[in-house]
Chains A and B, each alone.
Chain A
Amino acid sequence: MEHRDGLLVRAAKMLDLPPDVFGNVPRMVILGDGEFRMCPHKGILAYGPEEIHISAGKLVVRVSGENLELSAMTPTDLLITGTLHGVEFVR
């Protein structure tokens, strides 16, 4: 499946299309410093009011901030609210 995703991402790049059109690449939206959305995700790895680790397949997204709260979570989407300080990708 990962091989197939890689192929689709490469194909999207060749066709000058955004990779999330074909591949399973997570799209992250940050609204100001108070809201973080991610779609799709692979689940939460660690949860705390100052740091939340989210699995995005090949990489881990580390959201840091204050009073972070997992406001909504569905199998594909995820919403974190609070005061965001940074978003870091860990491979």
Chain B
Amino acid sequence: MSKLFHLLQGYANVEVCGAYPEQLLNRCAKEQVQFWRLQKLDGTTFRFRVRVQDLEKFRALAQENMCSLEELGFCGMVPAVARLKSRWGFLLGLAFCLFFSAWLSRFIWVIDVQGNDSVPSEIILAELRRQGVRIGTWGPSVLGREVSNEALRHLPDLSWMNIHVNGIRALVSVREVEEPPVLLDEDEPADVASLEDGVIVSLEVQSGRPLFQVGDAVVKGETVITGRMELLEPEGSPVDLGWYVVRAVGSVRAQVTHALEETIPLTAMEKQYTGETARRISLRFIQFHFNFSENSSHIGARYDRMTETRMYTVPLLRQPVYCTTETLRGYTLQEVPIDQAAEEARLQALLNGRLQRLMEARDGEILSTAFRTRIDGGCLTVTLVADCVEEIGCTAVLPGETGRYPGGQGAPPA
């Protein structure tokens, strides 16, 4: 720590030579002149360090004690700053840099959005831009609460927003609107039907009556759990109890074999650029358009068009001037054969993705997969055969209402 203080204060390396230099040390101690790193070079010469602020006093003491003094050099911040006094250009540049650093740090250069999941950050940033908060905005001018409230009016998917400007960074914290849960309409009668052909591996019934058992095979569209329950009277009784209709609810998991298929032709049309290019430049100011077109008649029927529009602000004009540059690149289409191995790998990845999405939607798991590839009729076909266990139950709404249907009226509508 003392080293740091010495460096900050600045010190001088001095060499004293005299008949009795120890006397000078004693005088220094008495006059509160700090010295350190004392080295004895010979019987009459000492070398040590003294603070820059004590140097004048030290010179006087050395003279009083008849010691010759040689200043070997200066170190530390104070001497360094003193050396810079004559270099006013450097100091001016340094001051300029410091001022600009301090000034530029008041602008917003980074905008971070956090807390959003379904609403993209770009939409939030676009709305903030409309409210005047963008990269380059003067930070102290951002009124967080007003901007948040105004932005929330235009972003219905957000329920809360806070803008915190800290230095060059604006942290935008948001909370999204939570979707209300879907309420089951208990008064609506329904069956649980099968979405796929498969073998039932688990069946959980919350309401309704199961028509299958674990291990049974079901066909797509078949009712697995029915909501129409016939109330069976005791054996021998002449009373007809009728039917009881409910909304069937349950989970039906089954082992299903999926066969997903993708087909592409063995040839593809590829662009071959002809090398013909043309450029069109147009200026737009309010409703006035000025076109400056190069000769583009030699460009064929097919071309790529790249448009770039720049906005210029002209002094004394309130409306901006838009300069649009269109670049046209002519091309012809040529039929080329596809790379079969690469396309096969791409289709396999595509099918895997489809299967993964299907499993996510149906809360399923994949037991095994196999790919089959065939070329038929000028097309490459890749088939993914996958054995999976997944939820196959779906609600099939019935006509009528839930409740009891007394006997003698026949079966309720199906």
Taking Cβ atoms with an 8 Å cutoff, the residues of A that contact B are: 43-49, 69-75, 78
Contacts and interface: CB of A to CB of B under 8 A. Distances in A.
A45 B22 contact: yes
Contacts of A45: 22
Contacts of A70: 25, 38
Contacts of B37: 69
B40 A47 contact: yes
Contacts, number: 35
A32 B408 CA distance: 112
Main secondary structure of the interface of A (DSSP, over half): strand
A55 to B, nearest CB: 9
Nearest to A69: B38
A44 B25 contact: yes
Q: How large is the interface on B (under 10, 10 to 19, 20 to 34, 35 or more residues)?
A: 10 to 19
Contacts of B35: 73
A75 B40 contact: no
Nearest to B36: A71
B32 A47 contact: no
A46 B43 CA distance: 9
Contacts of A46: 22
A47 B40 CA distance: 7
Given A44-B22, A47-B22, A47-B46, A75 B38 contact: no
A75 B36 contact: no
A51 B25 CA distance: 16
Given A47-B46, A49-B40, A73 B25 contact: yes
A74 B21 CA distance: 17
A75 B25 contact: no
A43 B25 CA distance: 8
B36 A44 contact: no
